[in-house]
Structure 1
């Protein structure tokens, strides 16, 4: 059983999270807080295994609150803003969920927590496509392409599909699993790279452009390739 708390000053958002939690047998909600001070009080009096933490809150943001903790419980950020994903990543948060949070996306995050607790490697994601929740093995994904409000997923068998997600969410989930974002619209699986130059990466027969604003990520990738250590 994973004991969790919700920290969110928006009643509707907190209520939705509470409903999602109630649907998963391994989760038990042991407290709710509307701001960082209330959350700190809960952490002092309860044993918390998982923190659902809003970012934009009165007095102290969720980011600053988590930074202030000497002992940081596993944390899933919940927010209506995309701009804090990098800071959340640096704080080693489990995930970064954009509101309104669907149960499917929520379940993917919780599944990740359960897998980490069981010391097993995360090897798949669950995405919503064509009205169904589909399980996709990470090793089979060649690249993601952002297309307006959806994501195109291209697999090693040349199959492709459209899913309800954002490239920011997927980057947060997979950046430590061998995926790198090299363009505003593209994130690639490094194991499929067959050639590259300063402007383009080849994933077999798929040419993917390198965006100017992602040059540092690309340079880090090139450094890794030079050492011969591309790993999933």
Structure 2
């Protein structure tokens, strides 16, 4: 059972969290607070596994409050302000929920706290782009394309994220069991290599050539 509390200066926001939490098995929302000092007093006496925490509050900044907690408590930030996202992940926030958020989004955040989820962190790529920190599920990556000093991550929903990085650096952040470099300009998911036609790999609408340097690594995957 995940023991949690929620802190937000808006009563309506707390009611929404309370409602959502009540629908999730193995999550116990022990108490809600709209005054930071009261939440801190409670935490000093009754440690919890998780805190749902607003950031912009009149009397105290939620991020500073979390940094002051000595116990090993995880945090999911719930805020109306997107500009704190990078800072939140820099202090290892479990997730960052931007108000208004749906129940499905709330549940996905809580799932990251459940036992055994730590291993799932290996299935995500964290990368900064457009002044934001993106946490991308490996399964959502269609392919990665190198563009001089930048890389472009093509996602399965047809969107793209462009970030300043070399192909070498981005490859180091990926699991070698899940991704392989097939060309100086392309990294693709291993499970996308099903058929090779004229030394090209077809992924969706893309035709990815296999570079001579990478041919041996690709053939090892095909022949497994």
The reply to whether residue 198 of structure 1 matches residue 149 of structure 2 is yes
* Cα contact 2:81–2:98 (8 A) shared by 1: yes
Contact 2:49 2:72 in 1 (8 A): no
Distance in 2 between residues matched to 1:93 and 1:7, nearest whole Å = 15
Matches within 5 A, 1:137-216: 177-183=124-130, 192-198=143-149, 201=152, 210=162
- How far residue 95 of structure 1 moved from its aligned partner, in angstroms, is 0.3
Matched, 1:224 2:166: no
1:122 corresponds in structure 2 to: 120
Alignment of 1:32-47 (within 5 A): 32-47=32-47
* CA–CA distance in structure 2, aligned partners of residues 28 and 72 of structure 1: 17
Residue 46 of structure 1 deviates from its aligned partner by 1.1
Unaligned runs of 5+ in 2: 176-224
Residues 85 and 200 (structure 1), Cα distance of their counterparts in 2 relative to 1, 3 Å cut: closer
Q: Note if contact 1:195-1:203 (Cα within 8 Å) is conserved in structure 2.
A: no
RMSD between aligned residues: 3.3
Unaligned stretches of 5+ residues in structure 1: 124-137, 140-176
Cα deviations by residue, 1:65-110 (Å, 9 ceiling, x for unpaired): 1112222401000001101001101110100001112100001011
Residue aligning to 2:96: 96
Match of 1:67 in 2: 67
Residues 59, 197 of structure 1: alpha-carbon distance in 2 compared, 3 angstrom cutoff: same
Check 1:57–1:103 CA distance in 2 against 1; reply closer, same or farther (3 A cut).
Answer: same
Q: Quickly say closer, same or farther: Cα 1:194–1:51, change in 2 above 3 A.
A: same
- The Cα shift of 1:230 comes to 4.2
**1:31 shift after superposition:** 1.3
Taking a change above 3 Å as real, the CA distance of residues 30 and 8 of structure 1, as seen in their structure-2 partners, is same
Of 191-200 and 68-77, the range deviating more from structure 2: 191-200
Counterpart secondary structure, 2:83 = coil
TM normalised by structure 1 equals 0.62
Assess if the C-alpha contact under 8 Å between 1:18 and 1:29 holds in 2.
Answer: yes
8 Å CA contact 1:50–1:74 kept in 2: the answer is yes
- Structure 1 SS opposite 2:64: helix
Larger Cα Rg: Structure 1 or Structure 2?
2
TM-score by length of 2: 0.64
Distance 1:77 1:208 in 2: 26
What CA distance in whole angstroms lies between the structure 2 residues aligned with 1:202 and 1:89? 20
Between the two proteins, the alignment pairs up a number of residues equal to 169
SS of residue in 2 equivalent to 1:14: helix
Q: C-alpha separation between the residues in 1 aligned to 2:150 and 2:120? A: 32
Cα distance in 2 for residues equivalent to 1:203 and 1:53: 33
